[in-house]
Structure 1
Amino acid sequence: MRSQLLCAGFFALQAFAASWTSTPFNPPSIPLAVRTPYLNTWLPQGQGVALNDAWPSFWAGQITAWSGFVKVDGKSYSFLGAPVVDGSPFDKATQKSFTFTSTQSIFVLSAGPVDVTVTFLSPVEATDLVKQSIPLSYMHVSVASTDGASHSVQVYSDISGEWVSGATEWDIQWSTTTTDILSHQISLVSPAKYEEVNDHSQYGTWYYSILNSKGATAQIGRDVVVRGQFLNNSVLSTVKDNNFRAISDSWPVFGLAKDLGKVGSTAAAVTYAIGHIRDPAIKYVLAGNVKQERSLYFWSKFSTAQQLISFFLNDYNTALATANALDKKVQTDAGKISPDYAGIVELSIRQSLTANELTISKNAFGQWNTSDVLYFMKEISSDGNTNTVDVMFPASPIFLYLNPKLGEYLLEPLYRYQASGLYPNKWSVHDMGAHYPKADGHNDGTDEAMPVEESGNMLIMALSFARATNDLTQIRRYQKLLDQWTQYLIEDSLIPAFQLSTDDFAGQLANQTNLAIKGIIGIRCMAEISKLLGDNKKYTNYSSIAADYVTQWQTLSASKTGPHLTLAYNNDASWGLAYNLFSDVHLGLKLFPQSVYDEQTAWYKTVANKYGVPLDTRHTYTKSDWEIWTSAIVTDTSLRDLFISSIKGYLSSGLNNQAFPDWYDTITGVAEGFRARPVSGGHLALLLV
């Protein structure tokens, strides 16, 4: 029987509170290796799950078995995962603390006379395109004596074939590289390029690696055999298992061990690298409906996976220093608002960036073209689309904060596609492809229609990133397209037709007050874009139209029975979060009168529930990103802090065990379904104002 099955109920919420200290709080799920849409593994929490209480899981919920043992003077302790090894007894190390930052999740466990510190580092290198594109993550295991004596210590870890596919009946194959690194390579026997099963990539190769230094050993085989070998002998065997088979057939695992020798109060450590490398990474549609294969940016510097992994492992100390610097900056910046807000932002950064991949193409001579950078985002958890505009938009604050050039790289695939003439509609496309990693467009024009939403989003982001980068190249190149979307907004944004907004789960609605705000701001953004490009005539025209629309909108949107904006015109009892006003504040447009902000501030105070303010009157649920955006436009600091504390209360309630679900009920605190989505980047909105 497979040991993992003993953890049935793994996803059930735990009925006990965590016994360890958690800083800044215990979240619904802890990011472990979180770097790409496919390298995306978490430790679900509920009310508290120790690092060695359960198996880590892929963001969608499937087990990605990852185990770890430490031997101290011949006595074995587990520190990671939930393995059972017949005939090889071991104790569980006792978790003492857990801390998360923007880049790291750090666990400290006691294993007899030593402490084991396990640091999961997923680097955030937003201004270094090579490093930011590397699809690898670190697990650093450090051991130090706590009793003043020296102890003989060996460390072991393995991953299972479950990392390779979303279905365990698929056959896998493997090999081990022994150079300056010890590296296991695992892949499907029958890969399917650009395809997914249960959101796992069905092609590419997984790597699990350490530096090939003294005392390092590797072994592949059945889970109980390989783990038992280490527990019984403190070293792995050179016996090879070449029986390629299904993931669930005797559960092959890929183990790496390191003898740290005698360890005293000065810590000794081993660093593991885990990752998934596929090439090509993205299929992208070009003019003429030609399909281009694009690769991750790091290939411009590294010619082989082994070369990349060697660099990555040797770069750990530098990566850690860079991560610590970013962590400190985020803690300082977000901490100026509140400690609760700092915790929300720290939990959001890795989650948001992991949805994105930086790509480049080759020129006609087969050389890498590093001037042709396109950034792609998977709409994780909801539709799985590629570069969904109304997911990019709420995520945009993270790019504006970390590196606004990334935002321009994210917009570029959409601009190029629509400028090619392949997309037939006069408004902005909804996304670049129905299924990641295919960015093959919607040449038939039947993508999910959000005409005002997406046109407004593109115009707002165009201005935001142009200002932030102080580079007019992109808006100058695509001004004709931007003007086309503006003309559409002039037609349909003041009184929006029956259509969807970004909150499409709530259904279509006509005359949406908040959607009209976005459209009007979009028109004014085109005025500002025109001014930047030296076209004062267009600036004056579009500014005048936007100002006139605001005057009309004030009458249309006002409730006759209460001091608040309506959800939809002529529905006086309705109301909602007017989060689209954030762009008016962030961009300093001063398009909407102060009275609107004052009125909404007073109203939200009267309708808050235990875990926040509902999205609108149709339901009691809300979205955390839009709550943070709304908190940035209210005129009362106490209300801003109420939004923040409500979200933090929801996250730390122990009621959920998914990766930061942004859609949840404000009364019960229970998540509605979204998880691990890139919109968490929107939680950085307060850092922009």
Structure 2
Amino acid sequence: MTTEFRPPSVPLVTVDPYFSVWSAADHLYEDHTRHWTNKTNGMVGLAVIDGKLRRFMGKVGSEERTAVEEPEVLVQTNLTVQPVTTRYTFQGEGIELHVQFNTPLLLDDLDLLSRPVTYLTFQAKSIDGASHQVKIYFDVTGEWCVNTSDQHITWERHVIEGQWNVMSMGTVDQPVLQLAGDDTRIDWGYMVLAVPQSSDIQTAIHSVTGREHYARTGQLPIEDDHPQPRAVSDNMPVMAAEIDLGAVRDEPISEFLMLAYDDIHAIEYFQQPLHAYWKRNGLTFHEMLLLAAQQYEEIQRRCDSFNLELMAESQAAGGEKYRDIVALTYRQAIAAHKLVADEEGDALFFSKENFSNGCIATVDVSYPSIPLFLRYNPELIKGMMRPIYKYAMSPDWTFDFAPHDVGTYPRANGQVYGENKLEYQMPIEECGNMLLMAAAVSKYEGDIEFARQHWEPLTRWADYLLHNGLDPVNQLCTDDFAGHLAHNTNLSIKAILGIAAYSYMCDRLGLKEGATYLEGARKMAQEWVSMADAGDHYKLTFDSPTESWSMKYNLVWDHLLDLHLFPKEIAAKELEYYMHKQNRYGLPLDSRETYTKSDWLVWCASMSSTKAQFESFISPLWDFINETSSRVPVTDWYDTITAKQMNFQNRSVVGGFFIQLLMQQSID
């Protein structure tokens, strides 16, 4: 993805729901960098070229100090966003400066994936044939380690094995895992800026006024003048580094540093605090940092290779616009999770419902996200499901259908959704989701053992669907913002395919009763066709007028799991009908409103019979992302006429955009 595609917000530091910072501006210097919640998590970058100071990232003044005169900018000439890498290019005063953010979220390496490290690389070269003296100033603020700016922080320094200078900041109180909720930021653990130990690199822990001093003089201030601890809002503390690149000529000169976060404990799991996955074998934070530094070159090569591979594959599968969408949302889909290890060392992969309700491990958030993880590592889907199985088999879960969630992030102590009242649950939705996810893992991993381990709840949920799934009573589905709905035809499809998914797993386990479930699903599918028929399409609900319609996105599993319960012409007829219902920015979710869900839009598009048809559905989504005035990490719920965000942002469900890669695999 290049400058021609304007992200609504650009991924910079993308590790987990807390360590997640973006640029919601066309140019990196036009605004403060921000946490995905839109709160400022500031970074500032300045270049001193032959004594002339230019700004290339963030703003020197804080949001409280808006009267500060900002330095002239080093003009941004290019932005490229690839799956795990964001690159900016700036030019001015005879040099070209490349600034690269790289978070190595490589799904085949869970230790690397879970490391809380983003690499920031600066590379400068002369573009006018002359030699130029270049220094880079960079700082990061105390905002990164607090929820609100009135919280008091302290800071310290370490040197790791004489090789790396490590500066860290954290709250005085350190309320580990005490804060749970949606619009929140971490206020425990320690934000870290790590830079190489070198005579060419100077460091300081100073303040926003010290930053202003540097912007005027080009000199790092003395840090001892600023006492600790103090509130972040009180002359905001910053950790800074000045990198002297020396005489820059035609050959590029580069240096990197690391942004990292030690969260101490990451998740509370049924009253037990758990570490991040990378800690499971006893590695300390400083050992991890040193390892990350030592592996820098190798990791950059691996990331570059992966970027090229995924971009080529996605372009071949869905065209250039699909490639752009995939490149922008890859990190978002992963970093809306936290990867930890349970007491047995097994992976637990917890999603957070960002700007939805803050729930953790929500089943109907996991379900739309799984195409990405099926493509690269089904173990992470098992990590999504393990907490649900554990909770569903506990005495605390009293229903005979699957739970919705296991708590509010980061505390996974049991479901909170709808106050656990029956009328606010999603019985058909979550049973179907868990069965389809289990069958998908079995297929794409090539192993039925995980399903075998959890056969009791899977059987209970299949039976629930068999008795209740064909014509769902009034209830919520994953699109709960649309309200309760009875006789939901798309929800019925999920139930039917969930039953067939159970049969699919029975077959692989050698269980004869699978035939009974498959026959039940086939009969239900036949009834569905006649009950939902509206001539040239299929209705929103079985009892609604023929003019009603909805995205039948759940149909996709009929193909991906080779179930073949529904006639092929159903999907073909639906997609042809959808072509006439698209608005400027995409296909609405159904006939009731003009808003859509972009994950479901791509699922429907993936059932296209031709690449051209797929691209005709994807193009309006690309236009939305490119043109929306809602400058946030990609939202999955927006209006298809105004291109305005309805709610939701930075959610993991964009992992569903990768479903076209699975479709192409099944064709190939």
- Pairwise TM-score range, normalised by the shorter structure: over 0.9
Q: Distance in 2 between matches of 1:671 and 1:238?
A: 43
Partner of 1:108: 89
Query: 1:236-635 residue pairs with structure 2 within 5 A?
Result: 237=222, 239=224, 241-285=226-270, 291-301=271-281, 303-336=283-316, 337-362=318-343, 369-370=344-345, 372-433=346-407, 435-442=408-415, 445-446=420-421, 448-535=424-511, 537-559=512-534, 562-572=535-545, 573-635=547-609
Deviation, 1:222, is 2.1
Amino acid at match of 2:6: N
Deviation of 1:446 (Å): 4.0
Counterparts in 2 of 1:24 and 1:89: CA distance versus 1, 3 Å = closer
**Structure 2 length normalisation: TM-score?**
0.94
Q: What per-residue deviation string (whole Å, max 9, x for no partner) do you get for residues 154-209 of structure 1?
A: 11111111112231111111112234212221111112221147320221111112
The structure-2 alpha-carbon separation of the partners of 1:495 and 1:402, relative to structure 1 and needing over 3 Å to count, comes to: same
Give me the TM-score of the superposition, normalised by structure 1.
0.91
Aligned to 1:652, what secondary structure does the other structure show? helix
Residue 599 (structure 1) shift: 1.5
Aligned 8 A contact 1:71 1:234 in 2: no
**d(CA) in 1 for partners of 2:460, 2:434:** 12
Once the two structures are aligned, what percentage of the paired residues are identical? 29
- Unaligned 5+ segments in structure 1 are 1-20, 286-290, 363-368
- Residue 424 of structure 1 aligns to a residue in which SS? coil
- Report whether the alignment pairs 1:41 with 2:14: no
AA at the equivalent of 1:268: I
Q: Does the residue aligned with 2:90 lie in a helix, a strand or coil?
A: strand
The equivalent residue for 1:7 is none
Query: Aligned equivalents of 1:515 and 1:629: distance in 2?
Result: 15
The verdict on how the C-alpha distance between 1:43 and 1:480 changes in structure 2, with shifts beyond 3 A counting, is: same
On the 8 A contact 2:155/2:228 being kept in 1, the answer is: no
Which blocks of at least 5 consecutive residues in structure 2 are unaligned?
Answer: 664-668
Alpha-carbon distance in 2 for matches of 1:88, 1:270:
29
Quick check: 300-309 or 600-609, which moved more?
300-309
Quote the offset at 1:651 in angstroms.
Answer: 0.9
Contact 1:386–1:439 (8 Å) recurs in 2: yes
Contact in 2 for aligned 1:220/1:226 (Cα 8 Å): no
Q: CA deviation at 1:316?
A: 2.1
User: Which residue in 2 is equivalent to 1:130?
Assistant: 111
Taking the aligned partners of 2:491 and 2:326, their CA distance within structure 1 comes to: 26
Offset of residue 564 of structure 1: 1.1
Q: 1:214 to 1:499 in 2, by over 3 A?
A: same
Q: Using a 3 Å threshold, how does the CA distance of structure 1 residues 88 and 680 change in structure 2: closer, same or farther? A: closer
Which deviations, in whole Å up to 9, do the C-alpha atoms of 1:540-581 show, x marking residues without a partner?
A: 10010000001111111112xx42111111212210110010
Contact 1:425 1:445 in 2 (8 A): no
The one-character-per-residue Cα deviations of 1:65-89 (angstroms, maximum 9, x if unpaired) are 1101111121111111011499998
Residue 28 in 1 paired to residue 8 in 2?
yes
RMSD of equivalent CA atoms: 1.9
**Matched residue of 1:147: which SS?**
coil
Q: Which residue number in structure 1 is paired with residue 666 of structure 2?
A: none
**Could you tell me which amino acid in structure 2 is paired with residue 126 of structure 1?**
L
* Paired residue secondary structure (2:157): strand
| 1:88–1:231 contact (8 Å) kept in structure 2 | no
SS at match of 2:76: strand
Distance 1:639 1:401 in 2: 23
- Residue correspondence of structure 1 range 11-22 to structure 2 within 5 A: 22=2
Tell me which moved more, 446-455 or 99-108: 446-455
- Quote the residue 2:647 is aligned against: 673
Distance in 2 (CA, whole Å) between partners of 1:360 and 1:22 is 37
After the TM superposition, which of the residue ranges 292-301 and 337-346 deviates more from structure 2? 292-301
Question: Aligned pairs, how many?
Answer: 650
Q: Which residue of 2 aligns with 1:145?
A: 126
For residues 343-384 of structure 1, what are the alpha-carbon distances to aligned partners after superposition, in whole Å with 9 as ceiling and x for unaligned?
11111110010011221245xxxxxx53x3222111222111
8 Å contact kept, 1:230–1:236: no
Return the alpha-carbon distance in structure 1 between the equivalents of residues 362 and 126 of structure 2: 50
Query: Structure 1: how far apart are the matches of 2:582 and 2:223?
Result: 62
What CA distance in whole angstroms lies between the structure 1 residues aligned with 2:485 and 2:69?
62
- Mean CA deviation greater in 349-358 or 416-425: 416-425
**1: distance between equivalents of 2:157 and 2:211?**
15
Q: What is the aligned counterpart of 1:178 among 145, 152, 159?
A: 159
Residues 201 and 242 of structure 2 are in contact (CA less than 8 Å); yes or no, is this contact kept in structure 1? yes
